[in-house]
Amino acid sequence: MTYCVGILLEQGLVLASDTRTNAGVDQVAITPKMHVFEVPGERVIVLLTAGNLAITQSVVNLCREQLTSDEGGPHLHNVSSLFEAASVVGSAMRSVHQRDGESLKAHGIDFSASILLAGQIRGEKPRLFNIYAAGNFIEATADTPYLQIGETKYGKPIIDRVIKHHTAIADAVKCVLISFDSTIRSNISVACPIDVMILPKDKLRADHRHRLTENDPDYARLRQGWGEGLKTVFSSLPDPQWSRV
């Protein structure tokens, strides 16, 4: 399983992904799910992947190979908008489906994959997309400025309560880490280390990347403060009178 989240803020993008992959419970490994395509100062595009690892690795590899292919055609370093970038990744997803879809079906395996694409190309604002297994995609907007893939539910309530489009980057990072803590506590197939990427608006560089282990002091402090704070708030809430039996 996987948990990835992308948040689209006025000040930029906050992205995070866990690193656990598993095929059954007896084959567990660490695999990064955050993939960076960068032309420093001109564009930065980040893919966060969830679903069947063979599919998503193939999609990312196809996108990498296109960069140096002699065939020409659009790729992530030459498209002029994030919309086109999402279309390039969607096409790569369809190529993998064309190659592997029938064989997977014959083995009773769903073609399950989804990819968050986030970043900025000079001349555009930061943008955030969710690309589905069918290669189609949706874009986040200021009204609901986040997208999640993978094991999304445990970590959604805190995001719904805290995140607005105008939220500060540092607050969004805190919120994302709490969202990961809730998810990791509830689903052992999501696990540290967590990769966090901050893409400040108009910086167009992927140089704010952080990998948090379980024992990272910032993460530990945040988890402890949050857990204790929740218990304090909980204790302070009034009992409904009728619950005193």
Binding-site ranges for a copy of itself (CB under 8 A): 12, 153-154, 156-158, 160-162, 169-171, 173-175, 177-178, 182, 185-186, 198, 200, 208, 210, 218-219, 221-222, 225-227, 229-234, 236-245
* Residue 205 Cβ vs a copy of itself, minimum distance, rounded to whole Å: 11
C-alpha distances (whole Å) from 198 to each of 157, 171, 210, 224, 226 are 22, 12, 9, 23, 22
* Residue 241 Cβ vs a copy of itself, minimum distance, rounded to whole Å: 7
Residue with smaller CB distance to a copy of itself, 92 or 180: 180
Residue with smaller CB distance to a copy of itself, 127 or 223: 223
* Residue 80 Cβ vs a copy of itself, minimum distance, rounded to whole Å: 26
Residue with smaller CB distance to a copy of itself, 99 or 105: 105
* Residue 152 Cβ vs a copy of itself, minimum distance, rounded to whole Å: 9
Residues shown for the chain? 245
* Residue 68 Cβ vs a copy of itself, minimum distance, rounded to whole Å: 31
* Residue 72 Cβ vs a copy of itself, minimum distance, rounded to whole Å: 36
Residue with smaller CB distance to a copy of itself, 40 or 225: 225
Q: How many helices, marked H, and strands, marked E, lie in the chain? A: 5, 12
Beta bridge partners of 38: 44
Q: Is there a contact between 172 and 14 (Cβ–Cβ < 8 Å)?
A: yes
* Residue 202 Cβ vs a copy of itself, minimum distance, rounded to whole Å: 12
Cβ neighbours, 10 Å, residue 52: 20
Helix (H, G, I), strand (E, B) or coil at 211: strand
Residue with smaller CB distance to a copy of itself, 99 or 221: 221
Beta-carbon contacts of residue 237 (< 8 Å; ≥ 6 apart): none
- As a whole number of angstroms, the distance between CA 178 and CA 166 comes to 19
Helix (H, G, I), strand (E, B) or coil at 207: coil
Residue with smaller CB distance to a copy of itself, 66 or 181: 181
Supply 185's token pair.
């506590």
Supply 129's token pair.
């997309």
Residue with smaller CB distance to a copy of itself, 41 or 225: 225
Q: How far is CA 198 from the centre of its chain?
A: 12
Q: Which of 231, 156, 167, 137 is nearest to 8 (CA)?
A: 167
